Amino acid sequence: MAARRDPEHTADLLWRRQRPGSRGPRGSLTVDQIVDTAVELADAEGMAGVTMGKVAKRLGVTTMSLYRYIPGKDDLVDLMFEQATGRPETTDWPTEWRARVRAFSHAQYQVLMARPWLLDVPIGTPPMGPNNVAWMEAGLSAMEPTPLTPEDRMGVLSVISGYALTEARQAEVVRRAAPSTGLTYTEWGAAYHQVLARVVEEGRYPALSAIVEAGVFADDRTTPEEEFFYGLDFILDGVEALMEKRRAAQGSAP
């Protein structure tokens, strides 16, 4: 059975409040050096290429010496995710709430697409580190001028962030499959259309058949980013509808 992880301990590590442990000889390493090296490995080889042993070898130390600074591989992965996501650059984001939330979600998507190994990191805790808390702040502050309640704003943030993760993961799955399928992301639509057209021929799936006949999947010009924005606007339309509901409730309040 894996050892239970303490959220406060994880937060202390992410915020660099942990002092080096006593295991192994005292050295000149820092947590940042170890994490930077692990991120370099992941950029080059993906998450599968990151082991404590490989990180130690690159740093010219023994594997055991790393445990003075980072308790284990799970903690290292948390630190890698935190470092690799960086902080949002909001300077050029629009000021209007919808455009700003749109920019926020797209920025998250771009970070994930730039470092696909981030999609292989299991998300075991809510955002705790300084970089990821900064992302939360950027998303929440974009909705501050709206009639959304604090609970609404947190809910929208969760949905928007989850959407960016899902879309990036879908695009990456298709990219990784390309060598075996011979199809790019933009070619999959037409191929899928042909498969479904045969499946629905017997008339057992009338609702799906209507979609296929309309040629929804046949357009092979859609890029991952176009798909991303199409779905994101669906979500934001729903957020606008919720805002209208909140405004109506505030207007009818005694």
The predicted structure's pLDDT at residue 24: 47
* 8 Å CB contact between 241 and 210: no
* 8 Å CB contact between 31 and 70: yes
The CA radius of gyration of the chain, in Å to the nearest whole number, is 23
Q: How far is 240 from 235, CA to CA, in rounded Å?
A: 9
Residues of the chain with pLDDT under 50: 1, 22-25
* 8 Å CB contact between 103 and 138: no
The predicted structure's pLDDT at residue 201: 79
The predicted structure's pLDDT at residue 227: 92
Burial of 253 (0-12, 13-18, 19+ CB in 10 A): exposed
The predicted structure's pLDDT at residue 222: 79
Query: Helices (H) and strands (E) in the chain — how many of each?
Result: 11, 0
Structural domains of the chain sorted by starting position, each given as residue range(s) with its CATH number in brackets = 7-84 (1.10.10.60), 97-243 (1.10.357.10)
- CA-based torsion, 214, 218, 221, 224: positive or negative: positive
104, containing H or E segment: helix 97-114
The predicted structure's pLDDT at residue 110: 98
The predicted structure's pLDDT at residue 1: 44
The predicted structure's pLDDT at residue 253: 57
